[in-house]
Amino acid sequence: MREKVKVAIMGFGTVGTGTYKILTENRELIVNQVGADIEVVKILVRDINKKRQIEAPEYLFTSDADDILENPEIDIVVELMGGLEPAYSYIMKALERGKHVVTANKEVMAKKGRDILTKADENSLRLCFEASVCGGVPIIRALKNSLATDRITKIMGIVNGTTNYILTKMSQEGSEYEEALREAQALGYAEADPTADVEGYDAAYKMAILSSIGFHSKVDIDKVKREGISKVSQLDIEYGNELGWTIKLLGIAQDVEGKLDISVSPVMLPKQHPLAGVMGVNNAVFINSEAVGELMFYGPGAGQMATGNSVAADIMAIAKQIVMGNKMQSNCSCFTDKDYVEELKAGYYTRMNVINKPGVLAKIAAVFGNFGVSIESVLQKKTEGDKAEIVWITAKVGESSFRKAIEAIESLDVVNSISSIIRVENN
């Protein structure tokens, strides 16, 4: 019987310190469940002289990755550095050296997950990555275990706290995008360079990970359609509000008769939908499945202790198996390679600025009609002099027909500009 499971942490920032704190402060709680002690024996950082948020013995720190990767005593390597490299190479080397791995790295898992999981399986090792999606929300374990026997048809997620904070500010306080972004940056919710969050890259990585598990398929990150929130304006929030909708940056992944459609974009969502009530930096994932029906997972998508807990729980799960001497289970549940839906049908909200004169509405409606786009409603909003703002809500339509209609409308002499187009998720 093992008395100790030895762990090394690579990265001692927000998540690394949270993980260390949980493993040390809840040591007894963990020992009682694992049947052995989990001991942190090395911590990798860039700068060993840097003042840390929490204290840890000096002898634990190193800036040489090989002190961990080449140490045969270490059972589990916990990668909490972030970024693609050197994280990916370190994870692969750890697996080659027979070490189990835990990571919180969504970029590595979205871009290289298949390679890593295959390597882990080849070497009968565990690779756990709960914290890579929605920080403290246990969504991956739920998909991999509790829902493993069910068929999932749709996954919708608010999986990026920064953008949800910005959109919440815009809708609750009437702020414009730039102002809400500056506030998010001042509070530490957004990076100085916010591109990864506001342009939807971070959410796309997370949706690729969730889809690969939920739909048991390899997912190519380049096939995830992505649009950020930087073009969402206060006017769209106001008009959406009048229509009973709220705007969220939503990841939507669907299995449509065996083909996948995965996207991240701003979406008009009915206010009654459970995801519409998710405010601030919180995350939530809403799942439709054949047997269970509708499920929602909600909670903190980031943060030192919440994310640290997801990492610590992964470490504990592996430690339990080591102690019991179990043969390690297969990591990869993405055993198919599904195609992608060529064209998904969706409804669209379109705001345009037009010349304010009789016959304009009919002219635009005729173009929509020519491309087979049915209109559900039209709202004439503010009129200023010879200019008017019109909002069109379409019925569900194929994206290419819709885009062709918009192109033709844009070239009409009565149309000044197409100000915004936002997908409507109305069912």
Q: How far is the CB of 32 from ligand NAP (least distance, A)?
A: 27
Task: Among 7, 77, 80, 152, indicate the residue that binds ligand NAP (CB under 6 A).
Answer: 80
Q: How many CA atoms lie within 13 A of 62 on its CB side?
A: 15
Task: Among 9, 12, 239, 346, indicate the residue that binds ligand NAP (CB under 6 A).
Answer: 12
Does the protein bind ligand NAP through residue 282 (CB under 6 A)? no
Q: How far is the CB of 369 from ligand NAP (least distance, A)?
A: 47
* 415-424/259-270 β-pairing: parallel
Does the protein bind ligand NAP through residue 16 (CB under 6 A)? yes
How many residues bind ligand NAP (CB under 6 A)? The answer is 23
The whole-angstrom separation of Cα 305 and Cα 16 is 10
C-beta of residue 393 within 8 angstroms of C-beta of residue 422: no
Contacts of 75 (CB under 8 A, 6+ apart): 5, 6, 7, 99, 100, 318, 319, 322
Residue closest to 79 by CA, chosen among 109, 56, 48: 109
Does the protein bind ligand NAP through residue 249 (CB under 6 A)? no
Does the protein bind ligand NAP through residue 13 (CB under 6 A)? yes
Task: Among 303, 340, 375, 403, indicate the residue that binds ligand NAP (CB under 6 A).
Answer: 303
Q: Is 51 a catalytic residue?
A: no
Per CB under 6 A, contacts with ligand NAP among 113-132 are 131
321-324-328 Cα angle (round to 5): 40
**CB under 6 A: which stretch of 32-40, 42-50, 67-75, 283-291 binds ligand NAP?**
42-50
Q: Which of 106, 206, 223, 231 is catalytic?
A: 206
Does the protein bind ligand NAP through residue 299 (CB under 6 A)? no
The three-state secondary structure class of 220 is coil
How far are the Cα atoms of 133, 141, 154 from residue 151, in angstroms, in the given order? 20, 16, 9
The whole-angstrom separation of Cα 332 and Cα 314 is 16
Nearest residue (CB) to ligand NAP, 55 versus 257? 55
Give the relative orientation of helices 201-214 and 106-122 as an angle to the nearest 10 degrees.
Answer: 30
Per CB under 6 A, contacts with ligand NAP among 92-111 are 104-106
Report the b/e string of 146-158 with b at 16+ CB within 10 A: ebeebebebbbbb
Q: How far is the CB of 196 from ligand NAP (least distance, A)?
A: 9
Number of residue whose CB is nearest ligand NAP = 13
Per CB under 6 A, contacts with ligand NAP among 135-164 are 135
Catalytic residues: 206
Residues that bind ligand NAP (CB under 6 A): 11-16, 44-47, 50, 80-82, 86, 104-106, 131, 135, 302-303, 307
